[in-house]
Every structure is written in C-alpha cells, then in structure tokens.
Amino acid sequence: MTSATAAVTGTRRAPSLRLIVEFAATRGIAIDVCLRGSGIDTEDLAAPDLHVTPEQELVVVANIVSAIGDEPGLGIAAGVRYHVTTHGIWGYALMSSPTLRHAIDLGLRYLDLTFSYCDIVAHEEGGLLTLVVDPMPAPLALRRFIAERDIGIIDALQRELVGTPRPLRAVQLPYAEPSPQIRTELRRLLGVAPEFDADRYAVCFDLSRVNDPLPLAEPLTAAMAEEQCRELLERSVPTGLSGQVRSLLLGNPARPLTSEQVSAALFMTPRTLRRRLLEEGATYRSLLENVRRQVAEELLGETALSVAEIAQRLGYSETASFTHAFRRWTGSSPRSHRVRGGSRSGGAHR
C-alpha cells in the first residue's frame, strides 16, 4: 500500500488558481466574483510571477462553489482541465516515468509538490490498482469539489501519460446518482460511467495494464526530474517526527489537532510523542506556534485579509490575542510587519 498526504503549505499554486478561474468563466462566473475576499485582483492573476497561498486558493474555490452551487461533478469538470505540464517538474517526472505504476508511486511520494488538499492511498484489490482520495483535510463545504478535482486531475494525467487505450476501469463517488444529464456528462469527461453511492472517492485502474511502458518514458529525464522533486521537497517540508507533526498542524491552522490527537494520528502515545519531539529539540507547542507564525506571515505578506480575519483563520477568538502572540514571535505588530514587508496582493488592509 502506498499513501500520501498533501501538505497544504507554501505559495506555489498560481497555475491551479488560473485554471479554476478560467473554468468558472465557462460557467458564466465573473473573475471578480471568483477572487472576492482572496486578496488577489485581476491584474495579479495575469502576472507571470504570481504566487498564492493555499488559503487564497480555497477562498476562490469557495466563491466558485457558492456561485455555481455544489453540483455533482463540478470538481471533475474543473480537474480534467489540468495538464501534465500544469504541475511543473512533478508533472515532467511522471511523464518520463517508465510505467504508470512507477508514475503513481512517484506522484504519491511527492504529493506535497502538487495542488492537492487530500490524503491519497494506493492499493491493489480484485485485479485493480485503486487510488482512494480522502478530502477530510479540506474544509467541509468544499470536500466534494476538492476530491472530485483530484479525480479529474488523475484522469487527465493518465490520459496524457498513457494515451490510448486507457487503463481506467472505474470511478467511485460517495453520493446518490445525479440527473441523467450529469451522468452523461461525467461519462463523457471520464470515459467510464461512475459508480454512485460508494463509500469513498476512488479511481481504479486495470492492474494488468499499470506495468505497460509509457510512450514518453526516458530514464535520464526521469532521474533528473525526480532529483529536482526531491530537492524541492527537502527545501519545503521538514523531516523527521517534527515534520510530520508540523504537516498535521498545517492541515487546519484555525482548528489545529491537540497533542493527543496528533499522537493518535501518528500511532503513538502522548508520552512517546513528547519524548521523541524533545529528542529532536521540539515540542508540540513550539511546532504549533511555528505553524501559526508561518501562516500569519504568509497571509500578511501575500493577501489583503485584515488582521482580524487572519486572527480568525489561525484560531484566535480575539484579535488582541493574535496581535500579542505575533509581537512575541517577531518583535513587531502584524500591521507593522505588513507595512515593513509590503504586500504584493493590493487592496485595503484594515
């Protein structure tokens, strides 16, 4: 079994943001509606060097889902617009892989470099290689769109990697069968009729096909691309137990897991968690504050969210408590930090 959890960190999601805004336009949703409250304006969206945070992208996703409605298949229709090249070096690593199985293993190993917000697990069952997509890390109201988008992306990737005939055998969706019109559209997008009322979001491949050579396999390019993925991951994601705890805390800074919940997620006792973190020179509290500081600085520097809104996103019930904590972390107030560092997002900073 191979599994991966996407770490919702950093500022590297501009291609994804542009694609979902372009998708929304095909549904008649204006750009300003998509970007409302994100701290990004139309001019920013056109900038070739635009970097946005995961939080900003989720604001845009929420705007789109609200404007269109959380209709079945919406995320799949958005996800199939993503190309291999949309994903940068991660996509090139997949494209040059020797087989689909190798591409899947590599893709999950470096899932932190993608646009995903989901946990994804790969396992073999009944002649199938199945990717189970779990959107639990995403906000509740957006989970269908987020999971479906990953399914659409997976389908788009395998189409470009494999060509024809495709090894996709089934797509499973955990909601009631929609209207005939939506069912027909999903079959057109995916090439298979989805199975509804399943207990999971999943994409299933023919196990007998996953070891077939990929048409663009190139060993030297694959090795070079994977090395670049490894270097990017090492620069962006902490290692060791501290890194695992930090990734869990980054999943929802507004409602972070308690130390007991973290220890349970890592299959150890709270006492063992404390001991092993101390061996790495860390504590649960220090990692939590590190996460909150990082997210606070990103939101102050990359968005037009007010200090009060940022405080709320970090789980503070009062803005004054956040301001006091930020001053303790950095030696300055959030507003002073923003003025000194500047914000490239534009907009009013209340």
pLDDT at res. 29: 96
pLDDT at res. 166: 85
Cα distance between residue 276 and residue 315, in whole Å: 26
> Which residues on adjacent β-strands are paired with residue 343?
none
Q: What is the mean pLDDT of each run of 10 residues along the chain (350 residues)?
A: 52 80 96 92 80 84 95 97 92 95 92 87 92 89 96 96 90 97 96 96 96 93 89 64 83 84 88 82 81 85 86 88 85 82 38
pLDDT at res. 51: 76
pLDDT at res. 94: 96
pLDDT at res. 239: 57
Q: Which amino acid is at 331?
A: G
In the chain, DSSP assigns E strands to 2-5, 119-125, 128-134, 168-172, 201-206
The reply to whether the predicted model has a pTM over 0.85 is no
pLDDT at res. 158: 95
CB burial of residue 199 (10 Å; 0-12, 13-18, 19+): exposed
Residue 292 CB coordination number (10 Å): 23
31: its two tokens: 């750009």
pLDDT at res. 6: 54
pLDDT at res. 194: 97
pLDDT at res. 342: 43
pLDDT at res. 345: 36
DSSP code of residue 136: T
Q: Which of 96, 209, 108, 223 is nearest to 154 (CA)?
A: 108
Q: Which of 5, 211, 190 is nearest to 103 (CA)?
A: 211
